[in-house]
Structure 1
Amino acid sequence: MGEAAHLDRQERIKLIQTLRLALDDIGLYKTPIVAGVGANSTRETTQLAHDAAAAGADFVLVVLPGYYAGVLKANPTAMRKFFVDVAAASPVPVIIYNFPAVSAGIDLSSDDVVDIANAAPNICGIMLSCGNVGKLARITALVDNSSFKTLSGFIDFLLPSVAVGSAGAISPLPNVAPNFSFKLWRATQSLGSVADFHEAKELQGLASLGETALLKEGW
C-alpha cells in the first residue's frame, strides 16, 4: 500500500478497501493484502491493525516506532514487548518490518527476532530491509519455517536471500516490472544446473540495477 506513514487513518482504511474491491473485481479473491500499520505507540499501532483488518487486510506490517529511539535501543526488552503486545492485540497475523532507515537506526538482531517469534504466535514473519543476508540466514536456521517466513525488503538481494531460506521479497520493483520480477523469482526456484544459476545471477544483476534506479527516484 505504499508509504502508509504518509496517510491519515481514514486514507489508510479507504485505500485498503479500494484495493480489496479492485482485486475481487478481477477475480483475485485469494490475493492477500499486507497493510502497513506503523505508528509511534503500541496503542495506535493496534488501532491501525484493527482498522486494516476490518477494511480487508489479511496481514499487517509493523515497524518499530522511531520516536524516543535512543530509549528503545537501550532497552531490547521494550523493543521485543512492543511487537509481542501488538501481535497479541492484532486480529490478523503480524509481519515484523525491520528497516533501520525509517526507525531512527534501530536494527533488530537475529536474537531479537527469534525471541519475538517464539513469544508471539500471531507473528508470522519478518521483512528485512536492513539488507543483512547473514541475519536472514540465522533467523531461518532458528525459527519454524512452516509458520514464520523471512522476506527480503528489497529484490536486489533476492537470489542470495533465497539461497539461505528466504520465502521471497516485498519490493518496489514488481510495481513497475511485475513480469520481470516474477521471472527472477522463478529463476531462484530452479537452480538445478550451472546454467540455471548463471541465468538467475544475470537476472538478479538487472533487478539490482533497476531497483537502485527506483530508489534514487524516491520509491
Structure 2
Amino acid sequence: MIREKLRGTGVALATPFTKELAVDYGALRKLLEFVLEGGVNYLVINGTTAESVTTTTDEKAEILRFIKQEVNNRVPLVYGIGGNNTQHVLDTIAETDLHGIAALLSVSPYYNKPSQQGIYQHYVAIANASPVPVILYNVPGRTGSNVTAETTLKLAVHENIIGTKEASGNLEQCMYIARHKPKDFMLLSGDDMLAVPMASFGAEGVISVLANAFPEKFSRMMQLALTEDFKAAAELMLSFVDINPMMYEEGNPVGVKAVLERFGVCTAAVRLPLVEASSGLKDRLYKLL
C-alpha cells in the first residue's frame, strides 16, 4: 500500500526564507500549491534541499505542522530524520509528531565514516524504533561513505525498511540492488538525471530537486518512464541537461531557489554557510529559462 503511494515523483521541498532569513510561511504555502498543482506524487520534508541542517528544532516542528495542515492529506508526506549520532536520531524520532507521515527518509551516517556493519546496525536501530516505515538514503558525495548494495539488500529484509533512495551515481550498484532486492522493496532515484535510466531497470520513482521548480514537466517525465515510454521520457530528461548542473554549482538549494525566485514563488535567500546565487549564476539561469 505504501509502496504504491510513494511511486513516481517525490519533491524534496525547499524551505522558503524571507530576506531576513526567517521561515516564510506565505511563500511555503505558495510553493506547496505550485508543486501540488504540477502533479507531484508526494512531498519530502526536512531533507537536504530543505536546509535541514540550519533550521532549528522549533522551526522543524512548525514547518511540519504547517505542511500537514496545508496539504490536508492530498498527497503522502515523507519526513527526513537522519544523522551520524544514532542515539540522537532515535531521540529525534521519539520527539517528533509523525502522525500523518507515510515514511521516514534517513540519510546514512556522515563524517564519522562507519563500517558497513556500523551502517547496518545504525539502520536496524532506527527501523526498530520508528513508528512509520523507513527509507534508506545513500548519498556518498555528502556522507563520505557508500552504503554498499550488499548492506542495502541485508537491510531490505527488515519488515520496517521499505526502500532506498540511491544517490550514489553508481548505476551498476543500483542494478545489482534491482536484480536482488525483495519484490516489495522500493528502489528510488536520488539523482534527477538518472531517474529515467533507473526506471528502465526497476526503480519506482525519484526524490527530486528539480521538481520544486518544474513539477509538471518532471512528473510527466517520470510517469512516462514508469509506463515504459522511454523515448518520450528521454526527450523530457534531455531538456533538463543544461539546467541541472546549475542547481548544484553553488550548493543545493541555491540554484533551485534562484529559479523559484524568478518564477515568483519565493526569494532566493539561503542560510549560511550557503550564500544566495551569484549574479553570474542567476544571469545564466535566467537566460536559459
With over 3 angstroms needed to count, the CA separation of the structure-2 counterparts of 1:55 and 1:67, relative to structure 1, is farther
| Cα deviation code 1:168-195 (max 9, x no counterpart) | 000100111000011101221333xxxx
State the one-letter code of the partner of 1:100: P
Match of 2:246 among 209, 213, 217: 213
| Cα deviation code 1:10-50 (max 9, x no counterpart) | 222211111111101xxxx1511111111221111122223
Q: Is it true that 1:138 corresponds to 2:176 in the alignment?
A: yes
Q: Which residue of 2 aligns with 1:82?
A: 122
Q: Is it true that 1:116 corresponds to 2:155 in the alignment?
A: yes
- SS of the equivalent of 1:208 reads coil
State the one-letter code of the partner of 1:6: T
- Quick one: distance in 2 between partners of 1:125 and 1:51? 24
Map of 1:35-114 to 2, 5 A cutoff? Answer: 35-54=79-98, 56-69=100-113, 72=114, 75-103=115-143, 105-114=144-153
Map of 1:139-218 to 2, 5 A cutoff? Answer: 139-146=177-184, 148-191=185-228, 196-218=229-251
Identity of aligned residues (%): 25
State the one-letter code of the partner of 1:13: A
Q: Is it true that 1:8 corresponds to 2:56 in the alignment?
A: yes
What is the aligned length?
204
Contact kept, 8 Å, 1:38 with 1:63, in 2: the verdict is yes
The alignment's TM-score, normalised by the length of structure 1, stands at 0.86
With over 3 angstroms needed to count, the CA separation of the structure-2 counterparts of 1:41 and 1:177, relative to structure 1, is same
| Cα deviation code 1:40-66 (max 9, x no counterpart) | 211111222234443643211111222
Q: Alignment RMSD, CA only? A: 1.8
- SS of the equivalent of 2:174 reads helix
With over 3 angstroms needed to count, the CA separation of the structure-2 counterparts of 1:208 and 1:125, relative to structure 1, is farther
- Quick one: distance in 1 between partners of 2:230 and 2:156? 32
- SS of the equivalent of 2:243 reads helix
Structure 1: any 5+ residue segments left out of the alignment?
none
With over 3 angstroms needed to count, the CA separation of the structure-2 counterparts of 1:45 and 1:160, relative to structure 1, is same
| Cα deviation code 1:155-176 (max 9, x no counterpart) | 1111110011001000100111
The alignment's TM-score, normalised by the length of structure 2, stands at 0.66
Q: Is it true that 1:126 corresponds to 2:164 in the alignment?
A: yes
Displacement of 1:81 in angstroms is: 0.4
Contact kept, 8 Å, 1:13 with 1:55, in 2: the verdict is no
Contact kept, 8 Å, 2:156 with 2:182, in 1: the verdict is no
Contact kept, 8 Å, 1:53 with 1:91, in 2: the verdict is no
More helix by share: 1
Of 48-57 and 206-215, the range deviating more from structure 2: 48-57
- Quick one: distance in 1 between partners of 2:230 and 2:110? 40
| Cα deviation code 1:79-131 (max 9, x no counterpart) | 1000011110011111111011221x10111001001112x211111001111
- Quick one: distance in 1 between partners of 2:201 and 2:189? 11
Structure 1 outlier segments of 4+, above 6 Å: none
